Each structure stands twice: as structure tokens, then as C-alpha cells.
Chains A and B, each alone.
Chain A
Amino acid sequence: MISLEAVTKRFGQQDVFTNIDLSLERGEIIVIIGPSGTGKSTLLRCINFLERPESGRITVGDVSVDAQQASRADILKLRRRTAFVFQNYGLFANKTALENISEGMIVVDKMPKEQAHARAREILERIGLSDKADAYPAALSGGQQQRVGIGRAMAANADVILFDEPTSSLDPQWVDEVLSLMKQLAAEQQTMMIVTHEMQFARDVADRVIFMDEGQIIEQAPPEELFTAPKDPRTQRFLRKILAPTGLSLP
């Protein structure tokens, strides 16, 4: 229900990736891992055209867009089918936690304000921040801000939520609360695509792990397979390096 066909992205003369193919089932959770600068985030950002791919086709639910002919309306439709969680939260600084969550429902989905606020309160309860409804982002901890960021994505009722290194800019003490919220979403069969360096998390929740290197999908497999018996030497090298300090074992 989500698919990327031959998606190519270039920055100037530099190819970030060429002809990437990838597809997800409804309810599937995939985690993308790999060294920094290999285009993982860019790939995620191409799905909702925060970065415009040079070519390829992107399909989310019943919206299918050819990158070379994508109109403004196409891009808007695609964005309304997806939601995005940012590494540095991207919360609206002039809006409270509640308003950050309800904003899209009011402005984009044209939901009446009372209804949107009621729904935002439900979401606040699910993300454990009912008592922070009226707090502005500046008054929230990093972990709380990111949970609001996830709450905002939940409110979008998207076919897929895209997570771009959601815990990378958090202080260590806030990482767990964000990861456990994501696990909660996973348990609810929310379709997710996650770029992260949290290997244990990837092992726990991913249905499929994708290893990317230098703009290519090198290998993809269920986590138990990819983490214990990686086939490609590049995957092996990467995992050995990244898992060594964590104490997770590799054969």
C-alpha cells in the first residue's frame, strides 16, 4: 500500500540514491539503518516531497505521484496521506501542546475546533501528556516535545508515519519515553517507516530492517535474520562496529 518505484534523488551533481524500490504493507513497520550520510533521511523526506526526487513514482494508499510530473496539488495529497516526525521535533513555537496536535485537524482537515480539541485531548492522554495541554514547547523537555511531535503525527490519521531519527537529538534520559510511545504505536498496527540508530529498538519492533549504504539498499530482512545472520559484508561490518559498544552480540 506504500511503494517507491525507481526513486532517484540528486543534490546538484551528486547522486544521493538512484532507482530505489521499496514497498510496505499496511501495518508493517520497517526500520532503516546504515552509516550517516547514506541517504536514509533523504529517502524518507522524498516520500512526502520535503525533498523533491528527480524521478520515480511514489504511492501512498490511493495517491500515486510521478516525481517528474508532480503538481502542487499532488504533493499536498501525498502529504495529507503521510505524517512526519522530525529529529528536532519541529513543534510550532507559538502554539501550545494541544494546539500543536489540533492544528492540522483544524487547518488541513477542516474539523470544527471543539471536535479537534477533543480529539487532541485524547491523543494527549495516549502520549501521557494530559497535564501539559496548555504548555508551550519552550516549557517542555526534549522527550515531551518529541512525544507532542508524535502526537501531531498521530492526529494526521496518516497511512504511514515517517520517523526521521526521532531520538537522535534527545538527552539520553528522554530516549526511553519516546521509544516506548513508538512501541505503543507499533502494537496498534500503525504503519511506520523509521530511520534510527537505536538497534535494540529496531530488533524489538521492526517487521523488516533495511540496511542502506552509499545510496543503495544493500540488504533487507526481518530483524532476527538481519541482526544475527547478515549476508552482505558491508552489513556485517556496519553491525559489528555499531553493536560492539552496546554489548549486543553478533556471530
Chain B
Amino acid sequence: MLNLGYMWELLPVLLSYLPLTLQMATIAMLLALVLACLLAVIRVTRVPVLNGLSLLFISFFRGTPLLVQLFLFYYGLPQLVEALVSINGITAAVLGLTLHFAAYMAESIRGAILGIDRSQTEAALSIGMTQSQLMRRIILPQATRVATPTLMNYFIDIIKATSLAFTLGVTELMGATQKEAASSFLYLEAFLLAAMIYWIVVEILSWGQRRLEIYLNKAYQR
């Protein structure tokens, strides 16, 4: 039987680690979004040299497991770069999540950009906009709208992926659960509770996602 009393006592303890989890996820999401937009624009406009580098970047970060990337940043890189020896687990995790998810998000944004009809691009150019004005004012606002459902899914993935940070010694929601479970030996209760917390957070986000989509689509209704 589940020890419900223990779970009830554990709940506030675990919840106190939720803010760190959400902070890491939010920062990683915002940074990844910026980087992904840059990569997508480079890919779409085929900037020489940078386009090749973007392809390599995307290929590497999609082609290797997130956990391997996190270990590379946290344990591997300090061997090469002296300054990184003092990198803390949180920074390494946020960095890893940012790069990893930027690679995925870049491809979604690129697809969304290519989906915007060519005539708007020509119209913007015809009134004398520069390439970057065209991107910032016309293309990206529309592309992010099209990509929003996918991007929100990545945000949900990021939240769940922050749990990997515990392998870098970060005591976030997962790390805290692990510690509590190890001392109480009530693994089922502890991990079940952690799962419930992630689940509820994701459900709340999904609800927000639907509201956001309705809001973003208002310009496109007949």
C-alpha cells in the first residue's frame, strides 16, 4: 500500500524545488528561441559559411542524446577550457538544454518561415524594406505564430528534460526527489509524487497553450 501520509508530508518539500525547475526551463526556452530564430533565418536566407555551420550544429545536437551533451558540457569541456572548471551544474544544464532544443526548434521555425507565402516577402522588399526588417516585422511574427503549437511542445519537453540536471548534481525537483527517496526508502511514493507534479505542471501549460493559440489566431479569422 502507498504511504499517503508520507506523500502528504513530502509534497511541500518537493514543491519548494519546483521554482528552480521552472526557472531553468524558462531561461533555456527563451535562449533557445532566440538561437533557433537566428539559425532558421540563416538557413532560409542561406548566409554563406554560417549556413554550413548551422547545418553542422543542428545535425550534432539532434543527432546525439541530451544526456551525452550535458555530460560533455559539465564534465568534458572543463578539460579543454580552463575557465569552465568552475561551471556549475545549473549553468551547464541550461546551456545544454538551450543548444539541444534550439536545434530542434530551428527546424520548426524554418518550416514555418517557408510556409509564409512568397508574395509578402516580395511586397516588403518592393516598399524598400531591408532583409532584416522583412524578417523582424513580417516573417518572424507570422512564423512564430505558425510554429507556436510545436514550440510549446518543446517547452513541455524542456521542463521534463530539466530532470536530467540531477545527473550534474543539481538539486531541482528530480534531484530532491531522489534524495528524499534515498533516505526514506519509499521510492514508489516519492517518484509517483514527482511524476504527479510534472504532470500537473504540463497540464496547466497545455491549457495555456490552447488559450495562446486562440489569441494568436485572431488576426486570421474571417
* Chain A residues packing against B (C-beta within 8 Å): 48, 50, 76, 79-80, 82-84, 86, 88-94, 96, 103-104, 107-108, 136, 138-139, 149, 152-153, 156
Contacts and interface: CB of A to CB of B under 8 A. Distances in A.
B120 A93 contact: yes
19 contacts: A50-B122, A79-B125, A80-B128, A83-B126, A88-B119, A90-B120, A90-B126, A93-B120, A93-B220, A94-B138, A94-B141, A94-B145, A107-B137, A108-B127, A136-B221, A138-B222, A153-B127, A156-B127, A156-B128
A138 B120 contact: no
Contacts of A88: 117, 119
A50 B125 contact: yes
B126 A138 contact: no
A116 B125 CA distance: 19
Interface string B201-222: 0000000000000000001111
A136 B116 CA distance: 16
Contacts of A136: 219-221
8 nearest A-B pairs in the assembled complex, by CB-CB distance? A90-B123, A90-B119, A84-B126, A80-B128, A104-B127, A79-B128, A136-B219, A108-B128
Interface in B98-127: 116-117, 119-120, 122-127
B139 to A, nearest CB: 9
Interface string B125-160: 111111001000110011001000000000000000
Interface residues of B, number: 23
Contact of A92 (B128, B138, B220): B138
Nearest to A79: B128
B117, B122, B142, B222: which has the most chain A beta carbons within 10 Å?
B122
B146 to A, nearest CB: 11
A82, A86, A103, A107: which has the most chain B beta carbons within 10 Å?
A107
A111 to B, nearest CB: 13
Given A86-B122, A94-B219, A104-B129, 14 more contacts: A79-B125, A80-B128, A84-B126, A88-B119, A90-B123, A92-B138, A94-B142, A96-B219, A103-B127, A104-B128, A107-B129, A108-B133, A138-B219, A138-B221
Contacts of A50: 122, 125-126
A93 B124 contact: no
Given A93-B220, A94-B141, A138-B219, A84 B128 contact: no
Tell me what chain B mostly uses at the interface: helix, strand, loop, or mixed.
helix
A93 B137 contact: no
Contacts of B138: 92, 94
Given A90-B123, A93-B120, A93-B142, A76 B219 contact: no
Contacts of B123: 84, 86, 90-92, 149, 152
Contact of A138 (B116, B124, B220): B220
A84 B122 CA distance: 9
A139 B221 contact: yes
A96 B141 CA distance: 14
Contact of A48 (B126, B129, B219, B221): B126
B120, B128, B130, B142: which has the most chain A beta carbons within 10 Å?
B128
A50 B123 CA distance: 9
A214 B80 CA distance: 65
A86 B138 CA distance: 17
Contacts of A86: 119, 122-123, 126
Contacts of B117: 88
Contacts of A76: 128, 130
Nearest to B141: A94
Nearest to B116: A93
B127 A152 contact: yes
Nearest to A109: B128
A84 to B, nearest CB: 4
A149 B122 CA distance: 12
A48 B123 CA distance: 11
A14 to B, nearest CB: 21
Contacts of B137: 103, 107
A82 B126 contact: yes
Nearest to A89: B119
A86 B118 CA distance: 11
Contacts of B127: 79-80, 83-84, 103-104, 108, 152-153, 156
B120, B138, B145, B222: which has the most chain A beta carbons within 10 Å?
B120
